[in-house]
Amino acid sequence: MEILGYIAALIAAIAFAVLVIFLAKTLKAASRTLNDVASTLEGVEKQMQGITSETAELLSKTNHLAEDIGAKAQKLNTLVDGIEGIGDTVNSLNNSIRNVSNKVALSAEQNTEQTGQVLKWGSVILDLWKKKKQNEANESVSVPAVQPTEQPLPVKETSY
């Protein structure tokens, strides 16, 4: 029976040795995996630093762009306000012209007889003035008699 005890102890020792060997292999594999994870995390950390610096630069450019857009929008608002003022001025001018036109039309309707007489007298005066200018033109233009000269005037030849 003692042999059975020694055999059992030997089997237990071999089983323990096999268990230790498999456990050592598993721990080595786990160690390699953890080393790979550590190196991967280092690479990720470096990439994150690059992304962080690029993000900060992008944020800075975005802020600058937002300030530039704000300044240009303010200038555009000033321009729109100016155009609005011009539009108001044009509307006022149109209203003034409309009022004057309405007043002239109303006055012409109220004084149609006097307006007709003024137009008649105006056309008569204009006709008299044209006749006077025509008479003055006829009197000032007197054609002197042309004396023949001994030598004929040179004639320029033109070809068509």
Q: Is 59 inside a domain boundary?
A: yes
Is the pLDDT at 27 greater than 90? The verdict is: yes
Q: Is 112 inside a domain boundary?
A: no
Q: Measuring CA to CA, how many Å separate 7 from each of 2, 16, 17?
A: 9, 14, 15
Q: Is 142 inside a domain boundary?
A: no
Identify the pLDDT of residue 153: 57
| Segment 80-99 mean pLDDT | 88
Q: Is 81 inside a domain boundary?
A: yes
Q: Is 109 inside a domain boundary?
A: no
Give the ranges where the chain is alpha helix by DSSP (H): 2-110, 112-140
State the residue for tokens 């060997």: 21
Identify the pLDDT of residue 130: 93
Compute how many other C-beta atoms are within 10 angstroms of the C-beta atom of residue 115. 13
pLDDT tens-digit series, residues 96-149: 999 988 888 887 777 777 777 888 888 999 999 999 999 988 887 655 555 555
pLDDT tens-digit series, residues 50-80: 899 999 999 999 999 999 999 998 888 888 8
Q: Three-state DSSP class for 81?
A: helix
d(CA 157, CA 5): 153
Q: Is 130 inside a domain boundary?
A: no
Boundaries of domain holding 57: 1-104
**Is the distance from CB of 115 to CB of 108 less than 8 angstroms?**
yes
d(CA 51, CA 27): 35
Q: Measuring CA to CA, how many Å separate 105 from each of 46, 91, 109, 117, 121?
A: 86, 21, 6, 17, 20
Domain count, the chain: 1
Identify the pLDDT of residue 40: 94
Identify the pLDDT of residue 39: 94
Residues 6+ apart with CB under 8 A from 115: 108
Identify the pLDDT of residue 65: 94
Q: Is 1 inside a domain boundary?
A: yes
17 pLDDT tier (thresholds 50, 70, 90): very high
Identify the pLDDT of residue 116: 77
Q: Is 65 inside a domain boundary?
A: yes
Identify the pLDDT of residue 111: 75
